[in-house]
Amino acid sequence: MKPLFKPERIKNLIGILILLFLVKLSWFIIEIVWFPVEGVTHAEERSAKPLYYRVKLTQNEAPAPVVKPKVNKPPVGNIKDITLLAVYAASDVTVVTVKYKGKTKVLGKGESINGFVLESAGPNYATFSKNGKTYQISLAIPKSKKGKSHIKPVQSTSPSRTMSKQKSSSSSVEGEVIDAGDHKIIERSLLKHYTENIDDLYKNIGIQEVKNGNKIAGFRVTFIRRGSPFAQLGVKRGDVIKAINGQELTSYSAALNAYKDIDKAQNVTLVIERKNQEMELEYEIN
């Protein structure tokens, strides 16, 4: 009996099937590894999911009110709280004495109290400024216990008699300056006169502020009247007085405060600058 299929053909057929299976398997692996799932190349974005989700527990919840801290505003100063007690107004010096909250203070031009800056002064008034506004204070006129004015009528006198009184009062300065070698001795009565009569002070010695930038660094002596007690103190024209008894003269008020208490001291030390050199002048009050 003749066989239907030759063994060689069957082997070849099996070999072709195995080859096709291997090609198909290889193509399947290539599609998975290198080719995209669909026909267009794309990259799949992957992001980690949050571990928790924000959940609104209540609906239409009103926001908590914002509490603003209370700020204590400083009280607004009033010009009526300042009382003008005394005025000294010259061509180069403006000094006033004021009273504020029961305390007396001496101010020079440009200095302030309660926010009000002294701008100028006249015979019986002072002008202050604050926040671009100008205020004028009149000199306070004290009254007697009965409410009457302190001004009393006086008998008229002739001009010649008045002049003689003025001469006698200006020449009635008691006390002198004694040179003791390394220091000078000033009689207390002399100091007392000039502390009580400030007009006589400015007639015998002139001072002018010296500034270092915007700050006062002392007061320069502009003139000394010949024959006056100030000519015997050893101070010369052009000297810059920088301190009195350790009190630096950085303002008009500091200078006047040191000056008005000078008659109560036992010793006085002036720190002056002369020709760019500092030196001390010692005085004994007797």
Q: Best-predicted range by mean pLDDT among 127-136, 184-193, 201-210?
A: 127-136
Q: Are residues 132 and 219 in the same domain?
A: no
**Considering the domain boundaries, does residue 131 fall inside one?**
yes
Residue 270: beta bridge partners? 244, 281
Q: Are residues 177 and 273 in the same domain?
A: yes
pLDDT tens-place string over residues 99-121: 888 887 878 888 889 899 999 98
Q: Are residues 194 and 268 in the same domain?
A: yes
114 and 98 in contact (C-beta within 8 Å)? no
Q: Are residues 183 and 269 in the same domain?
A: yes
**Considering the domain boundaries, does residue 234 fall inside one?**
yes
**Considering the domain boundaries, does residue 255 fall inside one?**
yes
Q: Are residues 188 and 120 in the same domain?
A: no
Of residues 171 and 243, the one with the higher pLDDT is 243
Of residues 38 and 93, the one with the higher pLDDT is 93
Q: What percent of the chain has pLDDT over 70?
A: 69
269 and 280 in contact (C-beta within 8 Å)? yes
Q: Are residues 182 and 124 in the same domain?
A: no
CA distances from 208 to 35, 102, 218, 225 (A): 99, 31, 8, 15
Q: What is the CATH number of the domain that holds 100?
A: 2.30.30.830
pLDDT the model gives residue 142: 55
Q: Are residues 115 and 185 in the same domain?
A: no
Domains held by the chain: number: 2
Q: What is the CATH number of the domain that holds 219?
A: 2.30.42.10
**Considering the domain boundaries, does residue 70 fall inside one?**
no
In the predicted structure, residue 246 carries a pLDDT above the cut 70: yes
- Contacts of 52-59 with C-beta under 8 Å, sequence gap 24+, read none
Of residues 62 and 276, the one with the higher pLDDT is 276
Tokens of 204: 């015998």
Which of 131-135, 146-150, 243-247 is predicted least confidently?
A: 146-150
pLDDT the model gives residue 241: 93
**Considering the domain boundaries, does residue 99 fall inside one?**
yes
**Segments forming the whole domain that contains residue 210:** 173-285
pLDDT the model gives residue 273: 95
Rounded CA separation 273/248 (Å): 13
Q: Are residues 189 and 265 in the same domain?
A: yes
**Considering the domain boundaries, does residue 20 fall inside one?**
no
pTM for the full predicted model: 0.48
DSSP-derived letter for residue 230 is G
Q: Are residues 251 and 183 in the same domain?
A: yes
Q: Are residues 269 and 189 in the same domain?
A: yes
Which pLDDT band, with edges at 50, 70 and 90, does 159 fall under?
very low
**Considering the domain boundaries, does residue 96 fall inside one?**
yes
Q: Which H helix or E strand runs over 217?
A: strand 215-224
In 70-168 the beta strands, taken as DSSP E runs, fall at 82-89, 94-100, 103-108, 112-113, 116-121, 125-130, 133-138
**Average pLDDT rounded to a whole number, residues 249-269:** 79
Q: Are residues 131 and 184 in the same domain?
A: no
Q: Are residues 116 and 209 in the same domain?
A: no
In the predicted structure, residue 176 carries a pLDDT above the cut 80: yes
End of a domain among 138, 159, 189? 138
**Considering the domain boundaries, does residue 62 fall inside one?**
no
In the predicted structure, residue 264 carries a pLDDT above the cut 80: no
